[in-house]
């Protein structure tokens, strides 16, 4: 068994790290201060330069 | 986001904070406080019936205070987890008043006013700090009059106005106009109530209020207490209706904001605040101007900046496309001041450095491209976790080890490290994940070695 990883912050960076680690088969504990994950990026309507939806 | 919520290897601890970290790389003991939501996570279905019935209105942080939410709420509609949360600062029941409407409404019986914070302990191999950033508070720059002039907003506030799921459903309604509309709504409610009372009296005396009031003023009904009450009700009703009609007439002239100004480097590249370039704001403003023009074809935007830093894959092309197709004008010059002109229009005073002239220009709305500031509370978090900060209060890293903090086994990614845009954050996040994975698997290898 591998060691667990703690990720502090559930914004785009924290979510990406968590998914990468989880996909490697590592157990991740993702901590978010607010009631939901998403962070600042969830507040964005679209992202540049492709105008993709942020959520 | 959904993937994170569903992944079997991810334990999502939302509404939680790190209390204590002990140990070293490969063997950390982490204490986490799971704050009380006053809603049972395993029962709440996220249906939102409680939030609909909750009588308390609180400024909605997700919408940057541009709209309201209830005291029991989900942080945003698509939020993961969808579990609702009771805001202990605003909930009537939790503040000793009689309420409990949410508990009565909830069919899943998920509301638990007795819930307390829970402390959990985790055995951790490595830690990744992805705490994010805060938006620079532009009210620190008095000459831009943020909060004084209603139609001067920050880039993230404008983002919420542009969003179809935001408080204006994607229409660029100006904050000054929205304030008038809110006033109309409040007055209409009052008028409806007083009209109801008048209707009752009109029925009782079988006479329209206006006709009665004329006679009353002429001196009829002297000494009649009931009719005096009616006359008082009528005068207070008129006092509501007259300004209401006036506001309604004013609101007929309201249109969405079509002349936009974007002001770059608000707080960044400014030696009074943050000397660094925040990196993403130029592209953010261009994007907002492009999207605004997509929403309303007649929109014209002016972006005021020292220079437009379009450094990144496809960024320069995006900037040029904005200028060619989306009515964006780029003006080289730093804005000196914003004042309020007629009709709550912000007036921008700037030096056009190409023409060497100081100019004034009126806009419907001004958007401030605010700096990326270190997140509030990062000093406490850094102390708790045991890492050093740099001189701006971002997490300290080395130039050849951009995701390694000063403590082995603790890594950083995203804007907690330094200002960066979404693609950079994602790249750094994967990098930090790789570094953390080394430690996670190292302990496994060591165990195997020990067995062999």
**A54 in a domain, yes or no?**
no
Taking the alpha carbons at both ends of chain A, their separation in whole angstroms is 34
What distance in Å separates the CA atoms of residue B76 and residue B146, rounded to the nearest whole number?
26
CB B124 within 8 A of CB A6: yes
What distance in Å separates the CA atoms of residue B410 and residue A2, rounded to the nearest whole number?
17
Nearest residue of chain B to residue A24 (CA atoms): B437
* Residue of A20, A28, A36 to mutate, interface with B, max B Cβ within 10 Å: A36
**Among partner residues A3, A5, A38, which is closest to B76 by beta-carbon distance?**
A38
Instruction: Report CB contact under 8 Å: B10, A22.
Output: yes
CB B292 within 8 A of CB B260: yes
Instruction: Report CB contact under 8 Å: A17, B124.
Output: no
Label residues B151-179 b or e (16+ Cβ within 10 Å = b): bbbbbbbbbbbbbeebbbebebbbbbbbe
**Which chain B residues are within 8 Å of A31, Cβ to Cβ?**
13, 16-18, 32
The tally of domains found in chain A comes to 1
- Block means of pLDDT (10 residues each) for chain B, length 452 residues? 90 96 94 96 93 94 93 92 94 94 94 95 96 97 96 96 91 94 94 92 88 88 86 92 93 93 97 96 96 95 95 94 96 95 96 92 97 96 96 95 96 97 95 95 74 69
**Sequence-distant contacts of B20-24: CB under 8 A, at least 24 apart:** B20/B384, B21/B127, B21/B384, B21/B385, B21/B386, B24/B408, B24/B409
Instruction: Report CB contact under 8 Å: A17, B130.
Output: yes
Give the per-residue pLDDT at A45.
Answer: 85
**Among partner residues B85, B160, B426, which is closest to A35 by beta-carbon distance?**
B85
The verdict on ipTM greater than 0.90 is yes
Q: How many CB atoms are closer than 10 A to CB B129?
A: 29
The pTM of this model reads 0.91
What distance in Å separates the CA atoms of residue B381 and residue B378, rounded to the nearest whole number?
5
Give the per-residue pLDDT at A55.
Answer: 67
**A55 in a domain, yes or no?**
no
Instruction: Report CB contact under 8 Å: B163, A45.
Output: yes
Question: H helices within B81-224, ranges in order?
Answer: 101-105, 155-162, 175-205, 209-217
SS3 B316: helix
- What does the DSSP assignment read for B44-103? -----HHHHH---EEE-TTTTTSSEEESEE-SSTT-BS---EE-TTT-TGGGT-S--HHH
Instruction: Report CB contact under 8 Å: B80, A55.
Output: no
3-state secondary structure B384-442: HHCCCECCCCCECCECCECCECCCCCEEECHHHCCCCCHHHHHHHHHHHHHHHHHHHHH
Taking the alpha carbons at both ends of chain B, their separation in whole angstroms is 41
Give the per-residue pLDDT at B92.
Answer: 95
Q: If you count residue pairs, one on A and one on B, with CB atoms under 8 Å apart, how many are there?
A: 247
- Bridge partners of B273, per DSSP, are none
What distance in Å separates the CA atoms of residue B254 and residue B345, rounded to the nearest whole number?
12
Q: Does A53 touch chain B (CB under 8 A)?
A: no
Domain B135-173+256-373 coded CATH 3.50.50.60: yes
**A18 in a domain, yes or no?**
yes
**Which chain A residues are within 8 Å of B314, Cβ to Cβ?**
49-50
Angle at B118 between CA B115 and CA B124, to 5 degrees: 155
Nearest residue of chain B to residue A51 (CA atoms): B287
Give the per-residue pLDDT at B144.
Answer: 97
**Domain residue ranges of chain B, discontinuous segments joined by +:** 2-126, 135-173+256-373, 177-252, 375-451
Give the per-residue pLDDT at B452.
Answer: 65
**Among partner residues B16, B76, B432, which is closest to A32 by beta-carbon distance?**
B16
What distance in Å separates the CA atoms of residue A9 and residue A32, rounded to the nearest whole number?
5
Instruction: Report CB contact under 8 Å: B312, A4.
Output: no
Q: How many CB atoms are closer than 10 A to CB A7?
A: 33
Angle at B385 between CA B381 and CA B386, to 5 degrees: 110
**Which chain B residues are within 8 Å of A53, Cβ to Cβ?**
none
**A33 in a domain, yes or no?**
yes
Instruction: Report CB contact under 8 Å: B126, A11.
Output: no
Q: How many CB atoms are closer than 10 A to CB B221?
A: 16
Give the per-residue pLDDT at B2.
Answer: 82
Instruction: Report CB contact under 8 Å: B128, A6.
Output: yes
B-proximal residues of A, 4-43, CB under 8 Å? 4-43
The residues, ordered by sequence, that sit 6+ positions from B35 with a Cβ below 8 Å of its Cβ are B15, B16, B17, B117
Domain region containing A35: 5-49
The residues, ordered by sequence, that sit 6+ positions from B152 with a Cβ below 8 Å of its Cβ are B144, B145, B146, B338, B346, B365, B366, B368
What distance in Å separates the CA atoms of residue B142 and residue B151, rounded to the nearest whole number?
15
- pLDDT by residue (tens digit) across A7-33? 999 999 999 999 999 999 999 999 999
The residues, ordered by sequence, that sit 6+ positions from B74 with a Cβ below 8 Å of its Cβ are A35, A36, B46, B48, B51, B82, B83, B84, B85
């Amino acid at each position: 068994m591998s060691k667990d990883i703690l990720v502090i912050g559930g914004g785009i960076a924290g979510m990406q790290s968590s998914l990468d680690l989880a996909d490697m088969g590592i157990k991740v504990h993702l901590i978010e201060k607010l009631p939901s994950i998403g962070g600042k990026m969830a507040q964005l309507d679209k992202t540049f330069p492709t105008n993709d939806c942020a959520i | 986001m959904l993937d994170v919520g569903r992944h079997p290897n991810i334990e999502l601890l939302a509404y939680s904070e790190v209390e204590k970290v002990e140990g070293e790389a490969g063997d950390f003991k982490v204490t986490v406080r799971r704050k009380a939501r006053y809603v049972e996570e395993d029962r709440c279905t996220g249906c939102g019936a409680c939030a609909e019935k909750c009588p308390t209105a609180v400024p909605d942080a997700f919408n940057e205070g541009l709209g309201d939410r209830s005291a029991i709420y989900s942080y945003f509609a698509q939020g993961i987890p969808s579990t609702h949360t009771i805001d202990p600062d605003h909930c009537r029941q939790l503040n000793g008043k009689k309420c409990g409407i949410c508990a009565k409404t909830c069919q899943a019986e998920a509301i638990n006013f007795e819930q307390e914070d829970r402390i959990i302990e985790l055995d951790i191999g490595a830690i990744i700090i992805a705490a994010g950033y805060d938006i620079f508070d532009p009210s620190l720059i008095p000459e831009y009059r943020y909060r004084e002039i209603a139609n001067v907003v920050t880039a993230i506030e404008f983002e919420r106005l542009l969003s179809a799921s935001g408080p204006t459903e994607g229409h660029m309604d100006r904050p000054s106009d929205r304030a008038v509309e809110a006033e109309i709504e409040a007055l209409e409610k009052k008028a409806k109530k007083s009209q109801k009372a008048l209707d009752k009296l009109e029925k009782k005396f079988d006479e329209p209020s206006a006709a009665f009031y004329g006679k009353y003023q002429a001196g009829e009904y002297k000494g009649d207490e009931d009719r005096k009450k009616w006359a008082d009700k009528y005068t207070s009703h008129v006092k509501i209706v007259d300004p209401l009609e006036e506001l309604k007439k004013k609101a007929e002239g309201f249109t969405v904001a079509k002349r936009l100004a974007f002001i770059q480097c608000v707080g960044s590249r400014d030696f009074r605040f943050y000397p660094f370039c925040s990196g993403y704001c130029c592209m953010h403003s261009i994007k907002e101007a492009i999207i605004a023009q997509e929403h309303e074809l007649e929109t014209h935007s002016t972006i005021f900046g020292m220079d437009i830093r379009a450094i990144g894959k496809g960024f320069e092309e995006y900037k040029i496309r904005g200028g060619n197709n989306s009515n964006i004008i780029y003006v080289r010059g730093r804005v000196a001041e914003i004042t309020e002109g007629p009709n709550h229009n912000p007036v921008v005073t700037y030096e056009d450095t190409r023409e060497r002239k100081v100019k004034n220009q009126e806009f419907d709305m001004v958007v401030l491209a605010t700096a990326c500031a270190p997140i509030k509370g990062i000093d406490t978090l850094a102390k708790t976790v045991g890492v050093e900060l740099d001189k701006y209060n971002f997490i300290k890293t080395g130039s050849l080890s951009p995701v390694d903090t000063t403590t082995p086994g603790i890594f950083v990614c995203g804007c907690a490290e330094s200002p960066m845009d979404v693609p950079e954050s994602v790249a750094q996040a994967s990098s930090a994940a790789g570094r953390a994975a080394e430690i996670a698997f190292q302990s496994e290898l060591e165990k195997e070695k020990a067995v062999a």
